[in-house]
Amino acid sequence: MIGSALCFFGASAQEQEFTLRGELEGIQNNEVYLLLRTETGTDTLARSAVNGNSFELKGRLEEPALCLLSTGPAEGIRLFMENTEMTITGKLPDTEITGSKSHEQLEKMATLSPRLTEIQQKLGAISQAYREAASSNDTARGEDLLEQATSLIADREAARQDYEDRLTEYIRTQPATFATPYIILSTFHRPDPNAFLPAFEKFPPEVQNSMLGKVLKARLDELAPTAVGKKAPEITGKTPEGEEISLSGMKGKITLIDFWASWCGPCRRENPNVVRLYEKYHAKGFNILGVSLDKDAASWKQAIAADGLEWSHVSDLKEWDSELIKPYAVSAIPHTVLIDENGIIIAANLRGKALEDKLAEVLGD
């Protein structure tokens, strides 16, 4: 629902119209088009002939929306349109867009993540170079590139966390626009209700009642029961040996609920780190309950043995129809929930260094 709603905008009609005047160098087409993705496809909101480098688009939006200005066969500019006077100028691909408060916020969001953007660009270049090395059977070059990528991926997680922290603070402290729900939903797979529900209550009514405003509120309400500070819902399931065990029966100072599956690549890649942390902190009271979204019992058991996962495991072997994941609103894996000895959620979705840092904080290094 969220994925499709991110592309759909439509609610109460506004009487105003938009005008987008452009002066752009490098346009490849004789016409430009303003496109809006909907639940059923793509609508053309407006089109204009290009006179030299100039064009003018007019139309009306039911509500401010993220649109695409198509300037060539494979060229497009993302902009958050409002029913107002807007301008776009520059030399492609560098542009300046004015007149839309929502778009200004979208651009501000991009400035919060220079390190993350840099890392993603480097990873893109490495990926392209790796494909070239593979096509020429340059094994040594490929191995070197993989090593570089592995190092950057670790850096990316830290940069992403820093970006999400900065963005959360920005949204908490700055006035909301129609772009704010889009920014939250497109950035955070599981937006923190503790951070964003209080912020949402301060959004202008027209933003709260927008299409994406309603989607955001529904998502936050869905996640609220398993937010940090709440009692972890009970999990009762069967182990690979057929024994029934429950989360409430786990003993220890801190327990990690690890939602995973044998077929989940990112889960399997994270397993060596979890094994290392289990070996380091188990004697200090760290336990793990693995909750598998597998369907095939043999694959589940084989993955446990192959990865050396020597902790408790449960599954009902129903994949995404599993009753075990529903109270936690799990819609992607890997996903983790960390609870204290009283069953209170103290952290969520921690992996890698973030998980290690939290364990060191709670249990001591």
What is the CATH number for 94?
2.60.40
- The string of pLDDT tens digits covering residues 272-297 is 999 999 999 999 999 999 999 999 99
CATH of the domain at 268: 3.40.30.10
Structure-block tokens of residue 289: 């309950």
* H/E run at residue 265: helix 265-281
For residues 222 and 244, state if they share a domain. no
Average pLDDT for 43-57: 95
Q: Over range 220-228, report the average pLDDT.
A: 97
219 in a domain, yes or no?
yes
pLDDT exceeds 70 at position 4: no
pLDDT tens track for 252-263: 899 999 999 999
For residue 11, pLDDT beyond 50: no
For residues 240-262, give the mean pLDDT.
Answer: 95
User: For the chain, how many structural domains are there in total?
Assistant: 3
Question: Do 92 and 141 fall within a single domain?
Answer: no
- For the chain, give the mean pLDDT: 91
Kindly state whether residues 82 and 142 are assigned to the same domain. Answer: no
Matching residue, tokens 């760290």: 286
Is the per-residue pLDDT at 248 higher than 50?
yes
**Domain assignment present for 68:** yes
pLDDT of residue 112: 87
Cβ neighbours for 179, distance < 8 A, ≥ 6 positions apart: 64, 66, 80, 102, 103, 105, 106, 109
Q: Give the SS3 label for residue 243.
A: coil
CB 17 within 8 A of CB 58: yes
Please say if the pLDDT value at position 216 is more than 70: yes
End position of a domain, from candidates 226, 250, 278: 226
Alpha-carbon separation of residue 102 from 5, 160, 180, 337, 359 (angstroms): 18, 23, 8, 34, 40
Question: Do 178 and 281 fall within a single domain?
Answer: no
DSSP states of 101-154: HHHHHHHHHHHT-HHHHHHHHHHHHHHHHHHHHHHTT-HHHHHHHHHHHHHHHH
What span, in angstroms and rounded, lies between the C-alpha atoms of 213 and 69? 24
Largest Cα–Cα separation, the chain: 75
Say which residues have a Cβ less than 8 Å from residue 193's Cβ, sequence separation at least 6: 220, 221, 223, 224, 227
Q: Do residue 64 and residue 120 come from a single domain?
A: no
104 within domain boundaries: no
Is 216:5 a contact under the CB 8 Å cutoff?
Answer: no
Determine how β-strand 75-81 pairs with β-strand 41-49: unpaired
Q: What is the pTM of this model?
A: 0.83
pLDDT of 13: 41
Task: Give the pLDDT score at 15.
Answer: 59
Residues 79 and 136 in one domain: no
Note the pLDDT of residue 2. 41
Give the sheet arrangement for strand 75-81, strand by strand: 41-49, 31-38, 65-72, 75-81
Domain range for residue 338? 236-363
Average pLDDT for residues 67-72, to the nearest whole number? 91
Domain end point (choices 73, 99, 125): 99
Of 179, 200, 226, which one is at a domain's C-terminal end? 226
In this structure, the answer to whether residues 91 and 152 fall within a common structural domain is no
- Cα–Cα distance, 77 to 32 (Å, whole number): 11
